[in-house]
Amino acid sequence: MLAVVHNIPYFEGEILKDGAMPKAMTLNVRVSGTLGEFVASNIGADGAYENVSEYVRDLIRRDKERVETEGFARLKAELTAAFAAPETAYEKLDADTVIARNTRG
């Protein structure tokens, strides 16, 4: 089975200062075989979603949340390790040294 190619307008984010929304992105996705059947089973009267656009937007939101959660977990692990390190693991630096180190190309 070859599923229909769907145009999916998608917008999530800040509304512009003039009250308008930024231009939505349009995606064209070709899904066939068992993936197409799976998508079809999740939309319409028997599915959890009203249409393919709604389904794809939810998948994107979930993936975005997963990526953000993973990033936060990595940051938390780094901070936990840093706070658990003994004083001897740290090197005293003055502001000029830090600025010089960060401006090197």
Q: Is 101 inside a domain boundary?
A: no
pLDDT in tens, 44-62: 998 999 999 999 999 999 9
pLDDT recorded at residue 3: 46
pTM for the predicted model, two decimal places? 0.62
Token digits of residue 93? 């630096």
C-alpha 96/C-alpha 105 separation (Å) is 16
Q: Is 86 inside a domain boundary?
A: no
**Residue-range definition of the domain harbouring residue 56:** 6-76
Q: Is 21 inside a domain boundary?
A: yes
Q: Is 104 inside a domain boundary?
A: no
pLDDT recorded at residue 17: 62
Indicate if the alpha-carbon torsion angle 68, 74, 78, 79 is positive or negative. Answer: positive
Q: Is 28 inside a domain boundary?
A: yes
Q: Is 23 inside a domain boundary?
A: yes
Distances (CA, A) of 13 to 4, 18, 23, 63, 75: 28, 15, 11, 16, 24
Q: Is 1 inside a domain boundary?
A: no
Higher pLDDT, 15 or 43: 43
Give the residue carrying structure tokens 């979930």: 62
Confidence class of residue 22 from pLDDT cuts 50, 70 and 90?
Answer: low
Q: Is 87 inside a domain boundary?
A: no
pLDDT recorded at residue 2: 45
Candidates 24, 48, 26, 93; CA nearest to 40 is 48
pLDDT recorded at residue 79: 94
C-alpha 8/C-alpha 22 separation (Å) is 15
